[in-house]
Structure 1
Amino acid sequence: MNLTIPFSNEWFQAAHNSQVSAAPSGGFRLNTTPEGGGTELLPGSLDSSVWQEYEFMNAEVYHDSHDVLVLLFSFRDQDSRMITYHTGILPGVRTVICLPLKHLNGEKLFLDRYPGVMQTVLRGDAKVDRKRIAGFSIATIPSTTSRSVEISGLSLSGAEPDFTYEYHPFIDGLGQLKGRDWQGKTANQAELSERLHLERQLAATADFSGNGLGRYGGWKGLAFQATGYFRTEFDGSNWWFADPDGYALFSTGMDCAGPASPMRVTGMEHLIPQLPEREGSYHEAWSQAGQEFSFGIANLITTFGLQWRSAWTELTEYRLRQWGFNTIGNWSDDGFIKGSELPYVYPLSDFPATEQTIFRDFPDVFSREYEQNAEEFAKQLVPLREDRRMIGYFMRNEPHWAFVDSLNLTQLMLKSPVRYASKERFVQWLGEKYGTVEQLNEAWASSYASFEQLYTPHGTAASDHPVREADYAQFNRMMIRRYVEIPARLCKQADPNHLNLGMRYAWVGSDDVLEGCEWFDVFSLNCYQFAPDREQIMHISERLGKPVMIGEYHFGAADGGMLAYGIRAVATREERGAAYRYYVEQAAAIPQLIGVHYFQWNDQPVLGRFDGENYGIGVVDVCNRPYEHFVKAAKQAHEQMYQVRTGLVEPYNVLPAEIPKTGF
């Protein structure tokens, strides 16, 4: 059973930077300005109870813009809490979208991918009450141009829609975008092969012995005591990594240094040209499950045959050294790490979880289950603890719970009917603090008959009482501290030789996130800005007494062969190179910052990786062609970053002009 939402002025009236009109399909056309805008379904158009009777919102979408269109579908409840589905739509292709309404509970950040759709991400508050929906809107994010999109068949439904598409190949046999030309587009496989063979000959004769760096990549211009493993040092002015021989290192790393970024095939078959068989000479281009295919690897196999992996390894080692990168970053190819001489960082897997989570991926941290899983988690470091090329390890990447700023985990825990071990610890803590339930009631202005009543989701405490809120906040910090401290302590016991590089937070929404982080040797975060946030980095370092590093940042350009420019973007590839140089040299001038790692080596696939992300942010494209302007600027930045860091020269200060992103 479906409930169709037709276009009429009675339904769609409130518009912001946009115009809405009827479309021939029976749906409507939304035209928005470059600033982004949209239209709202009037609060009185649907009874709020209707939203809980259906499980999905479905529609068909078409646009013919120059890049991926990011549509925002926002749901607001009567308490003004809002969750927005950010959904990416390819240009020139009819796309069926499906929004599962169950995710208004806020428990997921990245949604499972439907056929034909790019990435879908949820942003907003921790939870929206489906029983009390007060508003629904459709909008676009800012863009370089105006946007026009036709939406038809908008409806509420009890079932997912039919995802039947016409065959319409969107990329060529090399994995490049069809129907568009740009400078640097590879004409054919012969051109690709000739270029790579010539560069491999250069790699075979390269000599980096006179580059002023030690065998572990450290800068010989400054030396500390050698200890045999990487560690951190403060010289009175700047924090540094010290390599095993004692030489100072400002880490410029490359994330995802691998032969390709695989493309998701499942659900995108109607947009893909004929692919090689899963068995045979191209089998290494396929994932084991057959759901992903790598055009990058296929191009290497065609060029180098059975020797493709060793050829790629030689080329990539040569390139990284030639361009001045000194660290193999997160999620890089294991075989490349083993065959390289560069130092590397290691991402631990399977961060300790519990069967019952408090919110998203935040576990029941006071449970024995969490402690046991943390013990197993730490064991993966044991085989690595004698490796001198390993700088350190990241415990995890971008905890999903931390995407909600100032999150009140205590409140969410008490609203749940689950009797978490952490909830039992909270009740115990209140008993220790207040002694009797009568004293708790006096402090909270509540009327509990016993402490046991706190296990009931609907308590009797005043919802905005300052003492209760303060207790919630204090226990919130206690849970976050335990979340960090238990696995960090066990990791240090398993491997005392290597640095704990932290959790690579997406951002730091409040100081609560820093609880327990003094257990790290380095605090890491991902910083998608045009320059690192100097004030935040200084604050974190001062608070923890530790240096800071950046695990991810990137820039995309609008003048190439990619449809999504990433989280930060500029107009041209030349400006993208300048953006990299600006970021690195500004970073080198921050005393508390000891490294910046770029995300990522390869462009993502035009049709998206596993989750639909398809950013043009690589150092090399799908045909393994380096972006010349980027490489030139990277070399300049790396050649003088130590002079910048020691104050001998000023950092590059030409701030690039930003254009709107197409990130999800």
Structure 2
Amino acid sequence: MRSKMRKLPIAAVLSAILLTACDNNSSQTQNPALTTDTPLAVIWNGSKSSGVEIANWGAQTQLEDKSVKVSYQSDHYRPSVKFHPEKPWDWSKFDEFNLAVDIKNLSNESIQVYLSLTDEAGVKEDMEITGSRARSLNRTANLAAGEQGTYFSIIKGKFNDTNAGVREKPYPWKTDEEMFVTRFGKKLDLSRITEVALFVRGNLHDKQIEVSNLRLRKNPEYDDSYLLGLADEFGQNAKQDFPIKVSSVEELKQVANKELAELAQGGLMANRSKYGGWKDGPKLKATGYFRTEKIDGRWWMVDPEGHIFFSHGPANVRMANLTTLTGVDFKDDSVRYIDPSRVTPEDSMGIVEVSDEVRKTRYIASDLRNDMFNWLPSYDNPMAKHYSYRREVHKGPLTSGETFSFYRANLERRYGENFEETWQQVTLDRMNNWGFTSFGNWVDPAFYPNEQVPYFANGWIIGDFKTLKSEHDVWAPLPDPFDPEFVRRAKITIDVIAEEIKGSPWCAGIFVDNEKSWGLPEGTVEQKYGVILATLTVNNADSPAKTFFTDYLKGKYGDIKKLNSAWNFKAENWASIEQGVHLEAPFSTEAVADLSYMLEALSDRYFKVVHDTLAEALPNHLYMGARMANFGMPKETIKASVKYSDVLSFNIYEEGVQPEEWGFLTEFDLPVAIGEFHIGSTTDTGVFHAGLVQAHDHKDRAQMYLDYITSVAAHPNMVGAHWFQYIDSPLTGRAFDGEPYNVGFVSSTDIPYPEMVDAIKSFMSTVYEKRFKGEFDAPAYKK
């Protein structure tokens, strides 16, 4: 386990927050190591290892006697070094075991290394259309510049079998080694392991590591208390110290009062217009609303007064989705009722109150969850107002249950009875003082009337319409945009947005929906067109989209024999197509072309419905697209989004906007916004998972932030980027899906991370001048 930062004295904490960065070179404590190095099996241990082939995929390797040096070049998106056995490894005979590897970072920067294991059913990396499905396990770890040590991933055992409702659990035993943390993955066939890979993705800088001693080891004895008493009364890690940890309500108030005094002396950065644009820059046409314009080859937003505008700020500035499950539930089913006409999804709800009558039916639904907390308020405690209820859960040991918001409780401790109003003003003051120009997506609508900071409105199209399910769904199935009920629900949602905005010029744009599972941009046919293949299997009577697809095929081929010939298929008649068919590999060229057309038609219909509904209700505001993630941005969907969006939006969780990977955006003469990105750290925060992109510590986190946002400003299409999110996730996992990430600009006690504040101010103080003059420009974008 990495060394824990000691807690600074209160005076140092206050100074660090408001004046300068924390001293990360202070003395550290160490946990005693537990030797686990007796291997169950040696996988690879140098050039003399027999029966293992080393392959590189976009990486450069130099084989040594007992190690391999791996160079990851920044002009490759996902360079990898892979270890392949002559025949599949059989690890099924081992019960409690982990895979360990010794790694040294030879780079001048930290490196985030991904570990993946693949069984025999895994997809070939050459992306051949084979029809096989990916079966892999994906983990990750961060190494500081020059750091070396042993890194391990638990492959099998009760640690993996324990569903604690938190995306990553604390170390189950004491060790100085580093544990790869959870990313994603499927349950592997441990009798047929065909690949172990170490890779990076989206690097902005060349990186190099040295790898040795890849082996399997028996897990040590578990610490029986590793999941007990994790959170203290403030929701902080009760078992670790770190620089901004507080130990009393008095200390928390002291920190708050010191910051409030500092913020009172601040205001807008120099050279900012009323709306946060570049007051001293070129004066463009003022329309009274935000718009976009291309100037000297670079896209910009333009504020309502005609000033150049670069949108940067935090997303998810709200207290929704910050609760954590307490392990308590209620036998009274009325608490789980969900209004089918609602327009707000469960993870965007504020506090859901539970009546005293319902609380009488209280019971412990999960001892494991309930025992994570050293303190939870009794129902007659004033802090009980911060209890809530979750009626739906995306993943975890519970499907519903009581929740608690430590963040809200800490705000009340900091600011008193009127904590919500004070929090809103403090947040606005921070936005201006730090130099941010806008809120990102999912800002609390309570901020909409503020007229101090521009915002992006948002809405979800939810309801009882048909959906399109596939095995590649991430958050939820796709809506069926051909269903008239989807069209009706889109209008309901957008009418609500219009009522909230009230035509305000402070609304910079509108996001609708988020990270839909359209399909992978690259991969097998099943990975790219899984939603279409799955829809083809259902009956036309149950799916408007399937009816559209069938009509398309009938119109194109006419005779079923022509379809069979083109697809190498054996459908009896069109009636069998209507009833549902399973199209499987190998796929003909014509079949793939038809799948591609159907995905584009599906995407086109979705974006057209949203665009047309917005244009009718909110004609003066920008449609910002659907915030596509890398698991849902096939070229067909991007093409449709380009057709209907004013600004394209992508959520890019990498080191930055790598020119070689994202240069394709220059093919579209359209502005682009980053809907989400973040970077986190575990070594000096007390949390168990840094997030999707990881830094070594907060000094490194601040530098990685600067690298990322600079890469955004360098791209000629980019008009802004929004950090996800404003506040750290709960230590014990957010109720929706267990995310416990250090991804906030402020902690769960509402204390800003000083290194991040300094970095934000540094970048935002000069962003307009530097971007306009082309000082950020990357050679890859220059003609």
Quickly name the TM-score band, shorter chain normalised.
Answer: 0.7 to 0.9
Separation in 1 of the partners of 2:424 and 2:118? 44
After superposition, the C-alpha distances for 1:135-155 in whole angstroms (9 at most, x for unaligned) are: 5799998899999773999xx
Query: 1:329 maps to which residue?
Result: 440
Separation in 2 of the partners of 1:175 and 1:149? 33
SS at match of 1:614: coil
Query: 2:622 maps to which residue?
Result: 499
Q: Once structures 1 and 2 are overlaid, which stretch shifts more, 276-285 or 423-432?
A: 276-285
Query: 2:516 maps to which residue?
Result: 399
* 2:590 pairs with 1:590: no
Q: 2:482 aligns with which of 366, 372, 378?
A: 366
Where do 1:161-310 residues align within 5 Å? Answer: 168-208=228-268, 211-220=270-279, 221-258=281-318, 261-266=322-327, 267=366, 268-278=369-379, 280-288=381-389, 291-310=402-421
Residues 447 and 551 (structure 1), Cα distance of their counterparts in 2 relative to 1, 3 Å cut = closer
Query: 1:534 maps to which residue?
Result: 659
Separation in 2 of the partners of 1:482 and 1:451? 24
Residues 583 and 116 (structure 1), Cα distance of their counterparts in 2 relative to 1, 3 Å cut = closer
SS at match of 1:233: strand
Separation in 2 of the partners of 1:70 and 1:262? 31
Separation in 2 of the partners of 1:481 and 1:493? 18
Residues 253 and 509 (structure 1), Cα distance of their counterparts in 2 relative to 1, 3 Å cut = same
Q: Is the 8 A contact 1:385 1:498 kept in 2?
A: no
Q: Is the 8 A contact 2:729 2:742 kept in 1?
A: yes
Query: 1:57 maps to which residue?
Result: none
Q: Offset of 1:466 from its aligned partner?
A: 2.2
Q: 1:465 aligns with which of 588, 592, 599?
A: 588
Separation in 2 of the partners of 1:460 and 1:519? 31
Q: Is the 8 A contact 1:394 1:503 kept in 2?
A: yes
Query: 1:614 maps to which residue?
Result: 740
Task: Say which structure, 1 or 2, has more relative contact order (CA 8 Å, 6+ apart).
Answer: 2
Q: Is the 8 A contact 1:285 1:293 kept in 2?
A: yes
Query: 2:700 maps to which residue?
Result: 575
Identity %: 24
* 2:457 pairs with 1:346: yes
Q: Offset of 1:121 from its aligned partner?
A: 8.7
Q: Is the 8 A contact 1:263 1:292 kept in 2?
A: yes
* 2:757 pairs with 1:640: no
Separation in 2 of the partners of 1:466 and 1:648? 44
Q: Is the 8 A contact 2:386 2:406 kept in 1?
A: yes
Query: 1:39 maps to which residue?
Result: none
Query: 2:725 maps to which residue?
Result: 600
Q: Is the 8 A contact 1:532 1:587 kept in 2?
A: yes
Letter in structure 2 aligned against 1:629: E
Query: 2:650 maps to which residue?
Result: 525
Structure 1 segments of 4 or more deviating over 6 A? 16-23, 69-75, 85-91, 119-122, 136-149, 164-167, 459-462
Separation in 2 of the partners of 1:635 and 1:483? 39
Letter in structure 2 aligned against 1:546: L
Separation in 1 of the partners of 2:427 and 2:600? 44
Aligned residues: 577
Q: Offset of 1:306 from its aligned partner?
A: 0.5
Separation in 1 of the partners of 2:578 and 2:453? 53
Q: Is the 8 A contact 1:385 1:495 kept in 2?
A: no
Q: Is the 8 A contact 1:644 1:651 kept in 2?
A: no
After superposition, the C-alpha distances for 1:357-377 in whole angstroms (9 at most, x for unaligned) are: 243422333333333333333
Separation in 1 of the partners of 2:638 and 2:259? 46
Query: 2:101 maps to which residue?
Result: 33
Q: Is the 8 A contact 1:326 1:342 kept in 2?
A: yes
Q: Offset of 1:621 from its aligned partner?
A: 1.4
Letter in structure 2 aligned against 1:623: T
TM (norm. structure 1) is 0.76
TM (norm. structure 2) is 0.65
Q: Is the 8 A contact 1:227 1:244 kept in 2?
A: yes
Q: Is the 8 A contact 1:73 1:84 kept in 2?
A: yes
Q: Offset of 1:589 from its aligned partner?
A: 2.2
Q: Once structures 1 and 2 are overlaid, which stretch shifts more, 134-143 or 529-538?
A: 134-143
SS at match of 2:766: helix
Separation in 2 of the partners of 1:448 and 1:72? 38
Q: Offset of 1:201 from its aligned partner?
A: 2.6
Structure 2: 5+ residue stretches without partners: 1-39, 46-82, 84-88, 105-113, 124-130, 141-151, 170-180, 201-208, 328-365, 391-400, 523-527
Where do 1:4-23 residues align within 5 Å? Answer: none
Q: Offset of 1:83 from its aligned partner?
A: 3.7
Q: Offset of 1:547 from its aligned partner?
A: 0.4
Q: 1:565 aligns with which of 684, 690, 693?
A: 690
Residues 90 and 118 (structure 1), Cα distance of their counterparts in 2 relative to 1, 3 Å cut = farther
Q: Is the 8 A contact 2:267 2:432 kept in 1?
A: no
Q: Is the 8 A contact 2:461 2:512 kept in 1?
A: no
Separation in 2 of the partners of 1:16 and 1:528? 31
Query: 2:678 maps to which residue?
Result: 554
Residues 496 and 463 (structure 1), Cα distance of their counterparts in 2 relative to 1, 3 Å cut = same
Letter in structure 2 aligned against 1:464: F
Q: RMSD in angstroms over aligned alpha carbons?
A: 4.2
Q: Is the 8 A contact 2:521 2:634 kept in 1?
A: no
Q: Is the 8 A contact 1:391 1:498 kept in 2?
A: yes
SS at match of 1:498: coil
Structure 1: 5+ residue stretches without partners: 1-11, 37-68, 100-112, 154-163, 654-664
Residues 534 and 337 (structure 1), Cα distance of their counterparts in 2 relative to 1, 3 Å cut = farther
Q: Is the 8 A contact 1:75 1:133 kept in 2?
A: no
Q: 1:380 aligns with which of 485, 491, 496?
A: 496
Q: Is the 8 A contact 1:20 1:29 kept in 2?
A: no
After superposition, the C-alpha distances for 1:113-138 in whole angstroms (9 at most, x for unaligned) are: 7557759999579xx9x9x9985799
After superposition, the C-alpha distances for 1:586-626 in whole angstroms (9 at most, x for unaligned) are: 22122210001111111212211121111112111122221
Residues 21 and 475 (structure 1), Cα distance of their counterparts in 2 relative to 1, 3 Å cut = closer
Separation in 1 of the partners of 2:121 and 2:689? 28
Q: Offset of 1:634 from its aligned partner?
A: 0.9
Residues 251 and 207 (structure 1), Cα distance of their counterparts in 2 relative to 1, 3 Å cut = closer
Q: Offset of 1:563 from its aligned partner?
A: 1.8
Q: Offset of 1:506 from its aligned partner?
A: 0.9
Q: Is the 8 A contact 1:604 1:615 kept in 2?
A: yes
Separation in 2 of the partners of 1:369 and 1:14? 58
Separation in 1 of the partners of 2:182 and 2:751? 31
Q: Is the 8 A contact 2:117 2:197 kept in 1?
A: yes
Separation in 2 of the partners of 1:181 and 1:251? 36
Separation in 1 of the partners of 2:664 and 2:116? 36
Residues 438 and 258 (structure 1), Cα distance of their counterparts in 2 relative to 1, 3 Å cut = closer
After superposition, the C-alpha distances for 1:206-241 in whole angstroms (9 at most, x for unaligned) are: 343x72212111111232111111111112322111
Q: Is the 8 A contact 2:298 2:716 kept in 1?
A: yes
Query: 2:27 maps to which residue?
Result: none
Q: Is the 8 A contact 1:20 1:28 kept in 2?
A: no
Residues 141 and 301 (structure 1), Cα distance of their counterparts in 2 relative to 1, 3 Å cut = farther
Q: Is the 8 A contact 2:122 2:136 kept in 1?
A: no
Q: Offset of 1:347 from its aligned partner?
A: 1.8
SS at match of 2:442: coil
Query: 1:510 maps to which residue?
Result: 634
Q: Offset of 1:325 from its aligned partner?
A: 0.7
Q: Offset of 1:519 from its aligned partner?
A: 0.5
Q: Is the 8 A contact 1:377 1:487 kept in 2?
A: no
